[in-house]
Structure 1
């Protein structure tokens, strides 16, 4: 398929064929996308290895194991072998969340360890160059290439291409929730094309055809070739029936996905264990202390210090603009609630006129914020400079001082006001189990455009599923969210 003069690695697949089958085109684009990723990783590794060999190649190697050709060939094999062993090219992870980059990083770390051990065993003097230059360069190029490919894939999906046709099977309520989520998040790659359910009157459910009952799932899959069968909660699904469905799907290209009851727990906290021959879904406790949290604290403070040095000239310039635009100081200080309910003073560039807090009561009837939040799209208290600062989140740069002093984190839930926190119920108070963040899932998902329930759900999801890989993805996506200014006012 060609678009705009560029040859796309993805076919315009994902729709129904003339005979009604839907599965085969999806399989075709998945295979082509996987081949594109494998080729990109292989070429990137070969280019880095060849460049280092040509630039640093030594011609005076004393022994055969120190010859650059052998090191280069060995590094190439180690990296590609580690990628294969770690299943970094599995179709289920390509283009899907942080797991793709987590596996890529694990593969490169594995290759680094093996390369280091091999260098020690062979007493090679040149091994440091391959460990500290070649592997990091391969990591930078492959991760960048995969991110570019993912952006292209997500763009295709938003246009209705490269989607996995899904047959949803469950209760009407849970299927309806699945349909809503797939439509709201098309970049995840699912499109519910048909529904099997019970207790629903009508030929459609939220615009999706109801093709049969739950007992008819396997027959529809073999006839129409759906790529995914999404089993959602319903009393019909006993262990025996789920097992029988899995057996009936054997031999097809269809992936069976069972939604657990714990819908908002995911990522590294979920593990499958076999106890006494019974498959059990084990949910580990969320991590609030320990080594990973210590690493997060070090990364937070180091990152804040580096960013403050980089943005120091900009912050001085912005401070002068704020002072010149309206009366009052350059900074705005406000009490917020942090980890374990402890209050702290947050710093921002002032974006409103002096005395804006006292004028808030007179604007209460115009509040457009969701839930406990107070927001106005066209707040008369915002200054001209403040409008620009808010749109691109420049007003939040001084919060790097809060991160540096330890009251905030680079990534975390939104820091609430004391009056908001006082109105929290027991469930919502779980967002106070971790430090609030300069950015978070709420920042990259729409900010003020989100409903109160959705904002709370995202904060709680972060608390439950936090990981260093998730933090990295959020920080990366924050750059795009800030650039477009979505939901910022």
Structure 2
């Protein structure tokens, strides 16, 4: 009798039960929502002349097929994967993709079995189900965010890093709004052991190990750490020291026995750029039509409030350093430009841009307009003309641009925008360095989905009026 020898240890469960319960709830609700969409289609008799539960066998077959295929497609698309839950638009994209695959599979089954079916029934159920699924995921995300704020994190992290960046990494994790919480740390030194590190992670009840060795990552250290985690439910995250690079630009590419993180270069041309330009023209045209009368009223109030024109134009620097005339409602007295250098010298401000919280050059009406960013509405004309975009870095005057360092000059790789990350993250409350960092992040990582998120976030930022002066 041969005895099998094994070096495997008994499996240690480190699973986050809160995360697991949330995933199970979402999957159960997905099935309920899909069933609701199917029943709605049956009740309304879509594609069957309003007949409910007739003896139409194909409809019964396709109802059953949808109830089976759709949840499987959502599972196959990993729509409840831990890394995308409550994080960006990835979860919604996967729900949409799973729904499209469901429709294709069911139609393929109908073709292969030569079965006649009500197309309006199928399309009606798919569209209704998709809308209900997206609503359900959004409501569950809101509930999850409330639970995370109450101290129920998605990931309990054991952090392994050199002593110097430990504090910063902990701050980054603490700023994840409950998505990550640090439950233990290990400062790397010459005597650290992957096995003891994993034991410490298990003892701290972590479900994730974040390995941030700093500098060049030692492949053997990472491999050994992964081996030590084989008998646990721990997941491993490895910091590749990639700062300010968005997830869609990163991909793992295996090369023989190693894996590399590939970073795609920023895209400044192509289909997405054309679609962005079309969105700008269409969006600005619609907004100019809708806001035309309010803009005329604002112009009238400005003329009545102080001497001078209603509109203010200034040369700004745009895409690739090209200058254009930027239009705004006048919010300052007519001698504002003449007093600028005097105020800059008085405040000892030699930065690239000059801002004052209580600028004496601003009129009473102008202060109100600035608080709610109404002074920037004429820039819709610049967007329509192609000088600006709805979303992008803030356009600066020529004399400010002449003060740019080599890093800030990269802002000019994108068309300037009426709103941007600087608008939704603090506006004038941000330091120059922070605003440059946000603008460069946008320039390097922009996408149409990011633009739509920024536009939606701008509404709440403007209504709140924080950082506007």
Q: Same fold (TM over 0.5)?
A: yes
Q: Separation in 1 of the partners of 2:326 and 2:270? A: 26
Structure 2 contact 315–326 (Cα < 8 Å) conserved: yes
1:393 matched to 2:385? The reply is no
The 5 Å alignment of 1:131-146 reads 131=123, 134-146=125-137
Per-residue CA shift, 1:139-174, capped at 9, x if unaligned? 444334433443444444445443533222112333
Structure 1 contact 102–469 (Cα < 8 Å) conserved: no
1:376 matched to 2:366? The reply is no
1:90 matched to 2:70? The reply is no
The residue number in structure 2 matching 1:18 is none
The residue number in structure 2 matching 1:150 is 141
Structure 1 contact 168–194 (Cα < 8 Å) conserved: yes
- When residues 55 and 486 of structure 1 are mapped into structure 2, their CA distance, relative to the original with a 3 A threshold, is farther
The residue matched to 1:360 in structure 2 has which SS?
helix
Q: Separation in 2 of the partners of 1:350 and 1:126? A: 60
1:486 matched to 2:466? The reply is yes
Structure 2 contact 149–178 (Cα < 8 Å) conserved: no
- When residues 35 and 303 of structure 1 are mapped into structure 2, their CA distance, relative to the original with a 3 A threshold, is farther
Structure 2 contact 69–102 (Cα < 8 Å) conserved: yes
The residue number in structure 1 matching 2:119 is 127
Report the alpha carbon displacement of residue 115 of structure 1 after superposing the two structures with TM: 5.9
The residue number in structure 1 matching 2:160 is 169
Counterpart among 51, 55, 59 of residue 40 in structure 2: 51
The residue matched to 1:250 in structure 2 has which SS?
coil
The residue number in structure 1 matching 2:203 is 223
The residue number in structure 2 matching 1:306 is 286
Report the alpha carbon displacement of residue 33 of structure 1 after superposing the two structures with TM: 2.7
- When residues 389 and 280 of structure 1 are mapped into structure 2, their CA distance, relative to the original with a 3 A threshold, is same
Structure 2 contact 215–241 (Cα < 8 Å) conserved: no
Higher gyration radius (CA): 2
The residue number in structure 2 matching 1:196 is 186
The residue matched to 1:400 in structure 2 has which SS?
helix
Report the alpha carbon displacement of residue 293 of structure 1 after superposing the two structures with TM: 1.5
Q: Separation in 2 of the partners of 1:320 and 1:362? A: 31
The residue number in structure 2 matching 1:361 is 341
Q: Separation in 2 of the partners of 1:226 and 1:242? A: 18
The residue matched to 1:142 in structure 2 has which SS?
helix
- When residues 199 and 213 of structure 1 are mapped into structure 2, their CA distance, relative to the original with a 3 A threshold, is closer
Structure 2 contact 188–213 (Cα < 8 Å) conserved: no
Per-residue CA shift, 1:211-240, capped at 9, x if unaligned? x95654212112222132221133695211
- When residues 151 and 320 of structure 1 are mapped into structure 2, their CA distance, relative to the original with a 3 A threshold, is farther
Report the alpha carbon displacement of residue 94 of structure 1 after superposing the two structures with TM: 0.6
- When residues 348 and 190 of structure 1 are mapped into structure 2, their CA distance, relative to the original with a 3 A threshold, is same
TM-score by length of 1: 0.81
The residue number in structure 1 matching 2:457 is 477
The residue number in structure 1 matching 2:9 is none
The residue number in structure 2 matching 1:206 is none
- When residues 109 and 313 of structure 1 are mapped into structure 2, their CA distance, relative to the original with a 3 A threshold, is farther
Structure 1 contact 98–473 (Cα < 8 Å) conserved: no
